[in-house]
Structures are given as C-alpha cells and as structure tokens.
Structure 1
C-alpha cells in the first residue's frame, strides 16, 4: 500500500506560499488559455478585440508559464521593473495568470517541489521547501503506521495539526454536494500480494458480454452522430465572423459539451431500450427472464452491428463482471454464473491513477495504450476535481510523451511539458467534411477528441438492457445476468419511514419488504443521495438509513421515487478467499477495445531539410 496526498492539500500549501509578495518575482506568468493576440489586438471569446501596446504584446507572447519576469526582461532586453509592471498590467486585464499553481498529478507534492526548486533566491526557496518537507514527513509517518490503529490515529492528527498551522486551512473538508472525493489530506491505495487464477472456462461464457459490447458501441456511435451537427452549428455561427479558435469553440458550446446533450442522450437511450425490448421480448409481469445468446445473435447483429465511429475514448468499454460461484476451483470447472455489473462506456477504467500506480509495471500499460493508439493523441486538460465523482485517484494516467495536451478552461498541466498547447492557439477547421482541431505544429485531430472526456462523462453509465417501469425482471443471457431485478417506490409510500419508534419501524419495514417480496440484500438509489446505498432488511441500522433517505426525498419531492435493486451476488456468494479462508467481495474488470475504428487524425508535418515544413 502507499499513502498519497490529496491534490487539494498541496494546492492549499501552494496558496499559502503564494501569499508572500516576495514570491511574485519567481512565479512565471501564464497566458490565460483562451486569450489570443493578433497584431496589437487581444481576442477573447464573445468580446470585441481589445488594444494592446507593442511592449505589452511582446511580454504577453513570453508569458508561457516557464519564464519569471526577470527571464522575460532578459529575453526582451528591457529592465526587470518594466517587465514586471507589464505583467502586472496584463494580470489586471485578466489576460494572464500570475500565481503559484501546482500541475495536476498523482504526486502533487513532487510537482510543487519542482516549482519551488526553480526559485533562485535561497532565502525564499529553502523555507518554502521546508514547509513542504514538514507535510511530506507527516505523510511518511502515516505510511509507516500501517495497521497500528493507535499509531495511525496519532500520525494523522499530527499531520492535520501541521497542515493547519502552515496553511491556516481546515485539515478536513466539509461534506457536501460541492466537495469532491478525498476530503482528508491523504488517502491510501493498496494492492493485494495474492493472485487468483480462474482458468479459461470463464472465457467460453463471454458471448453475452460481446453482444452487450456491440450494443454499447452502437449507443456511443449514435451519441456521436448527434453531437457532430450540434458542434457544427456553433462552428458555423462563429466562423461567419472569421477564423475560429478552439477556445471560442469550447466556450461557445457551454454548458459542456453543449446545452442539448442530456436531451440527445435520453433519446439515444430510449432507442437503445426499444431495440433490446424487440430482441428480448420480455413477458409482462415476469420476474425472471433467460434467453440464449445463440437465439438472439442474429437480432443483435441486425439492431446493433456497425463499426465504431465515435470520439477517441469511445473505442474503450470497461464492463465489470461478478461471479456467482462457491470457489475459484468451481469457476475453473465451469460451475458458475456471472453478473454484468456496470458497463463503463467510452472509458478505460484501468487508466485511472489508482489502477495505474498500483500496477506492477506501468510501462506494460503504456505499451497496451500504444497498441490502441499507435500515433499521438490529443488529450484535453481536466479539472483536478469534480464534485462527487472526480479526484486525483480517478485522473487518467496513461499519457505518453508523444501525446498532446490542450488546455481548455482548466489549465492544470505543466507548462514545461513539450506538446502542451493553449486552446486559443488551436484552429478549428473543416477538412474532408469533418471539423478538425489543428495544432500550431500542423497536427490535426477530430474535434470530438477535444470533447472526449465530457462526452464520456455523459455516456459512461447510460448503457442498459432494462425496460423502464416500476418493476423490471432479472434478465439473463446464457449464464450471465445482464440486468438485476429492480423496483421503484414513491418515497411518500414508505409509511414505516415516519415511525418514531425504532422497534416498530423495524417491524413495519420488514412487513413492507414481505409485502413486495423484496430480497434481504438490496441497493437503493435516491435522487437526493450522491451514490447508491446498501440495505440489509434484517438490520435495524440499515433500515434506519433507508427510512432517513425516504424522509429526505419525501420532503424534497413527495412524488419522487426510490429505486431498489437486488444485490447480486449476495454476501453468501463471495467465491474469492484468502490463504486464511476469509471471503471477499470481488469483480473482474475488463477493458474491451474496439478494433473497427478509423483514425482520422493527422501527424504534424515533418520538417524539411532546409528547416521549413
């Protein structure tokens, strides 16, 4: 296991260091990503051109995040004071950022250390590095505490005290809708030393998964098909006034990816459900439906078979598969069933930081990425966090030196990294009927690749075979459960939730469960809760949690419904055991790569012998 810093903790330290006015001389200013200068005019999306003087324009051109004011002055042959004043003016116009920023990364403390080590004044540099070292030593003490509860509690308390003293910031972020994961200063990720071997019998039963993957690709294709004309509308509106840069394009589409995205995706999902309804022909009122993959194969091909035509990430599909078996030996014998958990569409889940940095050989994963993308990719810079779902742990971490990063609104990259560009410097052009993002060096990529992550965020959990309704059956194809049984109940109809007596509430809740013939173990989704939560109907504690959730939802929207899904596998069906016989819940994480995609990107032109393009 390894203990990591949450990015917000190191950002807080950087902000406290940035408060020292003496730091300003050593902080490289950086042009705002969507600011573009032409001649003696500065262009910002949605605003008329603004004038700029020759000297300020020359300084702006050098505000690339790598040069402090003294280096800018030296490059232009002007006094440092003059360069500093120009940067200050550019900052007042909001054309440059001039602050101590920490590039995003799995190890934010290393990124901050690299920034601080570039400070030329040791009287400023060394105290700043020592403050960082205090937190690093605290993190190391937490790591060393291991499983000793008392030592761990003491180490975390000491780290939090040091952090609060250094930053004048609370060491725990409050829970709320605007708080991303990782509320504490540090977190731990771990990898078990054990290896489970299942044999090849599992592979022989994956035909239903292949059919689901074919349908998921159809879904991403249809969404991409709707996205392209939406983006073209924005492009044509902007291009009527002249050339279009990516910054203007991105901001012109907000809210990202574009305002009608949810409506478009709802329509695609409705069509997906309708197609599966024709294929599965589920009887009215059924609770269990099982079909043969061979019997539906031709219908699946007719409804869904086509090559991939989405954005860059849309060639990836990451299904989670759970096993119903007595043991690993039973799986090897073929004595098992499977459950399709989540189908993460247009996403390589194994590319997330928590998996990449627990993998014994990151270069092996990079090599697999290069098989998928032999040429460079265009990767949009992402925010460091997104409330409720996005944090350092889920940051994509399979980037390669040949890949380009483009900053959009969130300029979170390292300006010292080659192949890092600002969106204002990227042209949007039509080529062979496609809108392309053309980089300063001439490399060109499908414009959809710029929107890859925001499109994936919309579509990643939209795959379903399940019909809509207050009750849907468990659906199996061969030995794979592809849809668990579900129920939906208006929150106001859970009468037991308002019972004041815990004993009576427990009894009434169990009667309610029996009335609806619900299983003992379920997961519940509520519109007022950030994530699904687990309920054991034999546990007063969990029934109290369910009652509270029902009351919250009923207060907010009496007509809103709680969605209940059977837990499958159940705790008794955990097949994975360690060397001491302890059972663990588990899932098999697959990454499927669509091999039918046609790459439309174009590399940068090779320099000619005379240095030209």
Structure 2
C-alpha cells in the first residue's frame, strides 16, 4: 500500500492506494525520426514570413484607411475646389489599397504630382508598393523552397515505402492499402520522382497516414505495436532498468484467426448432422418465461405466446443438456426437435451453435476445445477442419516477408471459401483492422523494471491526480444514483418488480441533472480561472493542498459512498516527458496522463496478457488481489459477444449474460432477465441469486451502467476557455496537478474555420493557409486532431505537406475538430533502441481499497502517539 507522509491524512482518498506490480509498456514500432525527416521546415518558415509581411501590410492599410486618408482629404479640401477630379482619383486609389492591390505607375505618378512633402503620407505609395513587391517575392521564394523540399521529402518517403518492415506493417494493417503502396513503389521504378498529380498525392496521403500511426502513436498491433510487460519495484534504485533480447529480436509473433471468423466457422460446423445432436441449445438471456406458454422478450419489450410444443422445448433448455438428451426427456423424435429448435433460433429465442467464449484470446483453440468435448464421431467432423486452419496459421507465422504476402492471400481465399463470406470486413480499409487474420507480437524487451524516482512519482505525486479524478467518479456515481432512484420509484410505484434490462434504455431519456458533478467541476473551473487571471498564458497549476480544498465540501458524501463501494480499479496510460534518459534517473521528468481507463483488468487477462511471460500467474495475482476485497462475491461482470480482438475478462464474482457464454460454474452465471433493481438503504443496487450485486466498470460510459458499477475513474473534460474572436472557439490551457500533466492544452474549433477554399489546395498556398490558421488560433507546430467518434486521432505536423492535406480533408468531413498538443513533444522523447527514438506509455493498474485505507489511517494515528 502507498502512504502519503507529506500531509495529515484526513480524507478517504488520502490512503488506500496500491500500484499493482505488473504494467504494459506500449510503444511505436518505428522511430519518431521518420516523421521528422518528412518536415518542410523552410517552407513553413517562409509561409510565416509571408504572413508577417501581410500583417505589416494590413497595419499600413488600416493606418492609411482610418487615419491618414481622412486627414489627406481634409488637406486636399483646403487646396482644391469642390468637384475637383483629385477627389475621385484619391477614392479610387483608396479602393485599390483596401483590396490589397499594387498601385499602378499612374497611381504613383498622380501621388507624386500632388507634392505631399513633409506630410505623414508623403511616402505611403512607395511603402505600399515596396510591401507588395516583398510579398510577391516571398510567394515566389516560398514556391521555390516548397518545390525543393517536396522533392527531398518525397524521396525520403519513397525510401520508407521501400523498407520491407514498413511494407509488412501496412500489409498486416490492411492488405488493400498494401496494394496501393506496392503500386506507388512501382510507379517510382517506372519514372523516378513521378509527377505530383492528384493520384500520387492521394497515395502519399495514405502512406503518411500509416507513417504517423506507426511512428507517433502507441499501438498494440504486430511488430509495429508490440507488447512488453514490466514490473514496478520499490527496491529498484534505478528509474528504468531494461534489457533487450539478444539481437533485439521480437519475443514472440503470433498469427490469430479472428474471433468473428471462427464464430462463422462454428456456425457452419454446428449445422452438420454429426454435430447437431450434441449441441447444447441455450435460451436467449433476454427472454423470460412468464408462464408455461407466455414469454417476454426484454430489450424488444414484447410479450408473446408460443405453441405447446415450442414452449415445452424452450422451457427444457438450460445450455447444459444436449439436443439428444432434450429429445429423450421430452420423448420427441430428434429430427422433429431439431426442426423446432431451428424455428426458435430463427426467432432469436435460443442460440443453437458451438459456444465460443468471448473472453478467450485464441478463438480457434477455443473451438478446438469445444469440439474435443464431443463424442469421437462428432469431433472428427470438425477436427480435420481445425487442423487445416491451424496449419494455415502456423504456416503464416513462420513465413517471412515478402513471401508471406502471397501465402496470406492464398490462405484468405481458402478461408473465404470455407464460410462463403468475405474475409475482409469493410474491405480491410485503412485502420479497419477487420481481416480474418491478424498478428500480435511480444516486444524486444527481455526485462523492464520501474524503480527509483519514477516509482516514487507513480506512488507519490501521481496519486493527487488519481485522487481528484476518483472523487469526480464517485460524485458522478452519486448523480447516476439520483437519476436511477427517480426512475426506479416511478417504475416500482405499484410494487412492480423492476428488471435491469428494462430499465437500461430509460436512462437515455432526458438530460440528467448531474448536480454533484456540475458543482465539483464549477469549483475546479473557478480555481483555474483564478489561476488564469493571476498568470495569463502558459500552464495552470493545482497543488495537492488545493485538491484537498476542492474536495472539502463533498468529503462526507464521498466518504459514505466509498464505505459502500469499497474500491476502484483505474488504469492510467502514463507518459514520461524528459530531455534524456539520464535526466529521468536524476528525477528530472514530468508524468503526463494520456488515457485513463476505468478497469485495469485488461492488463492481466486479454490479448496483451497473452504475451506475458506467464499469463496464468499474471491473472492469478490480479484475481487474488480482487478476492482480498470483502465484497468480491457480490461483484459482477456483464459479458456480450466479442466484436474484435479486445477482450474484457470475466472477473471474480458473478457473470451476467447479455449474450455469449460464460466460462464460470452455472451457480455464478445469471441471465440478464433475472437481474432485478432494488433500493436498499436509499441506494439502488442490482439483485440476483438472493444477493445485491455491483458491476465492474468495464469501460462502459453510460448512466445505466455507471449507476450500478464501481466508480468509473476516467478523465474529466475541464474547459477553461480562452475566448477568441471567432464564435464557439474554445481553448483550454495545459492543466498540471501536483506536478503531473492531467490535461494537455487543447482547442475545440468549428471545422469551418479550418477548411480551405478547395480540397485541391496544395503546395505553398496550403502551407500559407494552415500557417494562417496556426496564427489565428495560436496552435503549436505539432498536435493531434480528432474529428469523429470511433476514428483514431491523426498526428498533424504543420511542416509536412501530406499532414496539411489530411487536415483540410478532415475539416471538410465534420462540424468540429478537437485538437490537443503533442506532449511529450520531440524534445521530450528519450526512449532509444537500436532503430531510433520512440514515443511510449506505461499502461498501469491501481487499486483503491477503502478498508485498507482505514487501517493505514489507524496505523498513522498510532505512530503519531
């Protein structure tokens, strides 16, 4: 347990924190320098010089129009008669100036003829035309610089495209994009430095999209997002102790057949006559019997009757009895029963398939184990096919690039034939990652330990951020509880049983009051606005003591809630910003909160844990930690069908079935239609199997889940707007809590402000356009932009031409863009390996244990005596 000796421990959240020893080290597979090599820095600098000239010209124009011209007219009125031709000529000249046009020789001659010696406007036309001349020269210089730099960075990009590792990484991400990369490479072979036309630019934008993904974002895919595990150790004196595998080779490469594909295959096998009698039909967890003939389909809110035979069969199913056994118990002909089961299946009332656990990483191995439980004749019907697929998988795993491309495509075709469906969902498009085959890898580290000053920071100052965000999570839980109680009391007014599945959609109706959340955020924003007034510009800091003050008005409510809830399981992704590795060892670094997940269990079981040295021991450590909590048997996990490789484990306690199957004993498995909602001692709780249940967080950010789960400790969006002239533009400075960057500087900008006049804008004019936007909104040179839910953020560097083209295209596809600074930036990247410098993050796990915290407080009081 972590102890804070800096201050008197008065709040529940001051104690009870534990940093779990295991963490995942996530990094890029390619060095960040690759992106730096694509920068056209001289072009960007020239664009900024041009804008400086334009600003100078704007100032001169505005001075002339608003100050000098009225005085000039008054001056001429003293010299000229009313109706003189001088006045129309002057007004025409002003009009040209207002339109930022060069003044003609006739304009200059007229001006000189007026003999404005010793006036403030005597040299205006010369100054104006000189600025116009310098502006034209700056544009010409910018075009020349761009062409030179473009030629260089295109050659650099081509070198990256020809790198076999890059080609393989693109292939593993998206085979269809890989084909475009190869075609682009062949275009260069046919004609060195091919024309920079729309086709070439489109291909290069796609290539850049993969480069920024591989070099700037910590992914978890194959060798370009490898999985490394590390250990936190208070006794380790060094901040980072690491060792690489000999030759810096990957620890393990594993090809998987995707869960969604194996499920299709299982459905095909389930239809075979040899297997059908041995299947164990399962009632849909959403269907609840009301009597021997009447049923209610929760979710659809539909009550219906079944014919006698159908009702008898449905009520006989429990997911444990085979078709043959059900037929025997009901004295039915097996063939007739199977026909009836298919009818129920078509109505979505039952599942008639080979069950696949959604929490097991290797779906093919799961299918093999399910078949192994069948009688020999039935097993043989599927084992040959499984062996064939396993052969494909092993072949791919051991075939090097580029040979594996052809082998992979051959295997894909055979997989498609087996299920008679496409093996590339969404065409395997950019970032889709929806191919039937995928690969993950263990990284090049053989050992990684965190200790010394880094461990002390993770167990010291970082806890202040966790304390603040946990308090916010508890207050949000209280708001969800209030919303839930109001809803529940309406539903239960006549003494009716309220079922959780029926209550879920009702949470989405109307806007919740969120009283505690609004009050807490208002206090934070008031403090930050005060900081902003005291120190205009730069970071906004909140001290540990100020966090205490922020929590003070809510302390009693938080205390009561934590005494009831007992624990939280936050999983922060933490970056370490430092000028060098030596600086980290000296303690000269800054922790940066990246993402914050509300459930750290995916560190210990799931697709990352597959690559731990001892996955079973890793899971056992976490399971045992949870089982030390007094309420673990009253906890529950909701599981549903798995859609991708990400796995949410079944945690200790009960499992509530929304869909899919559980790996637990039947006594711990509850169909969701059996779960009720009750109010006990003023709190809402789920109720099933004769006991109250609390849900694990599970990264499900909804009131319907959050009302009944442990507090979901996630980032809170703190907006401290620096209002700009443009309507609806919000800028929030970087927020630092007790020395930890809790929130990066960010901007919320209507997309229309970032759009170009044409998507075809390119070259130096595009650099000028984006430099103008940078100046308008005071953006950094590098940042990440998010434009749509579900899309990965895009890394933008205002000196990379393809980055700018992506930016204007993104702006054209959405109403609003969210921009956040790149921090740590290039000057704070210090993790080097044999191929370069990388960004990285530590996916850590913490447990907040209320009871342990109470014991620590008591020990502290005893020590003070």
- Structure 1 position 198, deviation (Å): 4.6
- Structure 1 position 121, deviation (Å): 6.7
Match of 1:225 in 2: 478
Matched, 1:252 2:506: no
8 Å contact kept, 1:65–1:415: no
Q: For residues 33-52 of structure 1, what are the structure 2 equivalents within 5 Å? A: 33-37=285-289, 39-44=291-296, 45=298, 46-48=301-303, 50=305
Match of 1:114 in 2: 369
Deviations 1:334-377 (A, max 9, x none): 12222222233455552461332222233244323332343335
C-alpha distance in structure 2 between counterparts of 1:308 and 1:367, whole Å? 29
- Structure 1 position 384, deviation (Å): 3.1
C-alpha distance in structure 2 between counterparts of 1:69 and 1:433, whole Å? 46
Matched, 1:445 2:706: no
Deviations 1:351-406 (A, max 9, x none): 461332222233244323332343335434433346xxxx332x223635xx3212
Which of 269, 280, 286 is residue 28 of structure 1 equivalent to? 280
- Structure 1 position 325, deviation (Å): 1.5
8 Å contact kept, 2:675–2:687: yes
8 Å contact kept, 1:381–1:411: no
Matched, 1:411 2:663: no
Deviations 1:454-483 (A, max 9, x none): 549886654234424522212324532222
Q: TM-score, normalising length from structure 2?
A: 0.59
Query: What are structure 1's unaligned runs of at least 5 residues?
Result: 554-559, 599-613
- Structure 1 position 584, deviation (Å): 1.8
Match of 1:489 in 2: 749
Match of 1:565 in 2: 820
Q: Report how many aligned residue pairs link the two structures.
A: 572
C-alpha distance in structure 2 between counterparts of 1:313 and 1:341, whole Å? 26
Higher relative contact order (CA 8 A, sep 6+): 2
Matched, 1:71 2:320: no
Deviations 1:501-553 (A, max 9, x none): 42121343234324544222100121377232110111101111111101222
Deviations 1:412-447 (A, max 9, x none): 43587662232234454444444444434x34324x
Which of 641, 645, 649 is residue 392 of structure 1 equivalent to? 645
- Structure 1 position 250, deviation (Å): 1.0
Q: For residues 263-278 of structure 1, what are the structure 2 equivalents within 5 Å? A: 263-264=511-512, 270-278=518-526
- Structure 1 position 260, deviation (Å): 4.4
The structure with the greater share of residues assigned to helix is 2
CA RMSD of aligned residues (A): 3.7
Moved more, 80-89 or 480-489: 80-89
Match of 2:669 in 1: 420
Match of 2:595 in 1: 342
1:27–1:338 CA distance, 2 compared to 1 (3 A): same
- Structure 1 position 127, deviation (Å): 3.9
Matched, 1:211 2:493: no
C-alpha distance in structure 2 between counterparts of 1:379 and 1:278, whole Å? 38
Which of 416, 426, 429 is residue 164 of structure 1 equivalent to? 416
Q: For residues 536-575 of structure 1, what are the structure 2 equivalents within 5 Å? A: 536-553=797-814, 560-575=815-830
8 Å contact kept, 2:783–2:795: yes
Which of 154, 164, 169 is residue 406 of structure 2 equivalent to? 154
C-alpha distance in structure 2 between counterparts of 1:345 and 1:304, whole Å? 21
- Structure 1 position 166, deviation (Å): 0.9
Greater Rg by CA: 2
Which of 137, 142, 145 is residue 396 of structure 2 equivalent to? 142
Match of 1:502 in 2: 762
- Structure 1 position 568, deviation (Å): 0.5
Matched, 1:523 2:784: yes
1:324–1:13 CA distance, 2 compared to 1 (3 A): same
C-alpha distance in structure 2 between counterparts of 1:541 and 1:452, whole Å? 34
C-alpha distance in structure 2 between counterparts of 1:499 and 1:221, whole Å? 46
Deviations 1:241-274 (A, max 9, x none): 76637xx43133216xx2148x438766544432
Q: TM-score, normalising length from structure 1?
A: 0.81
SS of the residue corresponding to residue 850 of structure 2 reads: coil
C-alpha distance in structure 1 between counterparts of 2:748 and 2:348, whole Å? 50
C-alpha distance in structure 2 between counterparts of 1:132 and 1:317, whole Å? 39
8 Å contact kept, 2:479–2:514: no
Matched, 1:370 2:624: yes
Which of 705, 708, 733 is residue 473 of structure 1 equivalent to? 733
C-alpha distance in structure 1 between counterparts of 2:635 and 2:790, whole Å? 35
Match of 2:36 in 1: none
C-alpha distance in structure 2 between counterparts of 1:320 and 1:304, whole Å? 27
C-alpha distance in structure 2 between counterparts of 1:529 and 1:453, whole Å? 14
Match of 2:5 in 1: none
- Structure 1 position 324, deviation (Å): 1.5
C-alpha distance in structure 1 between counterparts of 2:759 and 2:349, whole Å? 59
8 Å contact kept, 1:497–1:547: no
Query: What are structure 2's unaligned runs of at least 5 residues?
Result: 1-251, 707-711, 723-729, 853-865
